A and B are shown apart, each in its own frame.
Chain A
């Protein structure tokens, strides 16, 4: 699994961090998404998919 994020689309909702906190974080200053792990192992896959689905800005793309 490979993850792409679009920081320009991100609105800093933090839904991704709540869904998969080992993979996503937010910048301190504005809450924009930060990718901790671009190619997480399979154990994170369900949470990452949920994060991508919940993102209100559609800023997360998951390549399986």
Chain B
């Protein structure tokens, strides 16, 4: 029983991926795509990378050319936010009061940047989630100005690198001694920290408590330990919040995202995809929400098949990458919380290597820097959750 009306709320990579997969599978339903930004679907990972540094122009951000989107035969409601969901009536209500009926609903509303309370309207204070965010920050970035980056995750680290490349002075503030330490462990995070220092980034350990201002403009940040760091502008990259407020009265289970089963089903006729979706992870035995660009596409393909009555399993190895300066860090699996680490090829000193991470005597992740093809071969160990003893066999020098 194919649906007549498919409604996708969210016009990013996950929403678009779902619609494209539906059409590829031969779905002829009426499709409506609702997006709160005015832009046609664009890609977010480059915002803190090539787009911010200027290497990528606006056209290259577009996920698909306009003509290709037109071929999807969908109705686009861009610049519209969904404000509520009535599952009984099978209707999504928009902020202008209109409603859109669905037989199948796909929730793809993503996440927004976390902010510090009381910092609204401060000029020179930035977050990074949308193209407009990146444009605003780039406008203010000029050689010699100092950017304070609060948050040592991927977004903070990449923005620090891009800003430095553009000639800004940069202070990168992370809670761990090295940025990305909680994700990548001391060895790899230490290597990246040394790289940032070498390129002139000032690394500070701490967490941003408040923003200091004069005449409504950023003058610096105050850390939890009381220290004040001066700067001309600040980016807060301190995590994100799933956009689920509009679902509050929908009866869906919301717990750090839309809680779904292992195929993305949140309730009969309702699926969730991408950053906002917490799919049940059979390995972890709990819902897991991953803000990975590749997962957005995988969700879309899987949910399209579910909508058409032929769901398939999700690939078991998450993948994410990060560009910093001329280095690309690639991560297959989940290195967070690992208690084992072994270099396979290359070395940290050369800044070119592959490595595996282990937890509970099993391989849980493979990470590489500027060693793309050898890393791909290690993905197999992650997919199989290979016993740690198998790692020695993968090391050519042992």
Contact = CB atoms under 8 A, between A and B. Distances in A.
Interface of A: 8-9, 11-15, 17-18, 26, 28, 30-31, 49-50, 53-58, 61
Contacts of B298: 54
Interface residues of B, number: 26
Interface stretch (B16-24, B241-249, B274-282): B16-24
B372 A49 contact: no
A56 B297 contact: yes
Contact of A53 (B45, B68, B300, B373): B300
10 contacts: A11-B328, A14-B372, A30-B370, A31-B373, A53-B17, A53-B21, A53-B300, A56-B43, A56-B45, A61-B68
Interface of B: 17, 20-21, 24, 43, 45, 60, 63-64, 68, 293-294, 297-298, 300-301, 319, 321, 323, 328, 330, 370, 372-373, 376, 379
B135 to A, nearest CB: 20
A53 B60 contact: no
Contacts of B372: 12, 14, 26, 30-31
A53 B301 contact: yes
A53 B24 contact: yes
A9 B321 CA distance: 14
A14 B301 CA distance: 18
Contacts of A56: 43, 45, 293-294, 297, 321
Contacts of A28: 373
Majority secondary structure of chain A interface residues (helix, strand, loop or mixed): loop
Nearest to B45: A56
B183 to A, nearest CB: 18
B14 to A, nearest CB: 12
A64 B20 CA distance: 14
Given A28-B373, A53-B17, 14 more contacts: A13-B319, A13-B321, A14-B373, A14-B376, A15-B319, A17-B376, A18-B376, A26-B373, A26-B376, A54-B294, A54-B298, A55-B297, A56-B293, A56-B297
Nearest to A49: B24
B301 A9 contact: no
B300 A15 contact: no
Contacts of B319: 13, 15
